[in-house]
Amino acid sequence: MKILVVEDEAALADALTEILRRNQYNVDTVYDGEDGLEYGLTGLYDCIILDIMLPVMDGLTVLRQLRRSKISTPVMLLTAKSEVEDKISGLDCGADDYLTKPFSTGELLARIRALTRRTGEVNVDAFDFHGLTLNKQTYMLSYGSQSVKLSLKEYQIMEILLMNPNQIITKERFIEKIWGFESDVEYNNIEVYISFLRKKIQSIQSKATIHTARGVGYYLEEKA
């Protein structure tokens, strides 16, 4: 799952990034509103944590532009402001939640889980597809009584496939979601990890399989 952090206080931004990565989130971090808008407009993110008081372009302007561009990514506003009027303004601009500094790590993570559940994540601990289960905490891929450990990149690819079953995910999408849209990673990196995953899925005798949409990408499907 990919999160964008837009926060101009470098120490706080870096701390948020570290917390999220320790909790198995893939994170991009930018430090002003203009970059936040550019990244947000890609539509790559499952959640955006957006500060209101930002240089170049303030957070509410960023949020308005995202919504005008039909970007429906859940946005949690993060700010030192606590007045009711500010909260109302943020929510009226299209925010999904509002968290006032200072805040606890536990509350932040709980709010992110709540926001991402609204966009399709059903189980906060694991993904499941016809008995094929991916544990978010342990990186274990399981089917029945059999399990196999995934590497970080294998986990991230499998997570995307499980969140979008029977949907073709392009190679470009994998690279953008996992390595970032400015990455120079080549397609053969994806092909190698897909090959590893197929072998691991086969090793636990799951009925699920990763199909190739030739020239396009991959999709997860249950064997007939």
Mean per-residue pLDDT over the chain, rounded: 88
What is the CATH number assigned to the segment(s) 2-117?
3.40.50.2300
**How confident is the model over 190-197, as a mean pLDDT?**
94
Across-strand partners of 170? Answer: 217
> Model pTM?
0.65
- Model confidence at 123: pLDDT above 70: no
Delimit the domains of the chain by residue range: 2-117, 126-222
pLDDT in tens, 155-185: 989 999 998 888 899 998 888 888 876 678 8
Architecture of domain 126-222: Orthogonal Bundle (1.10)
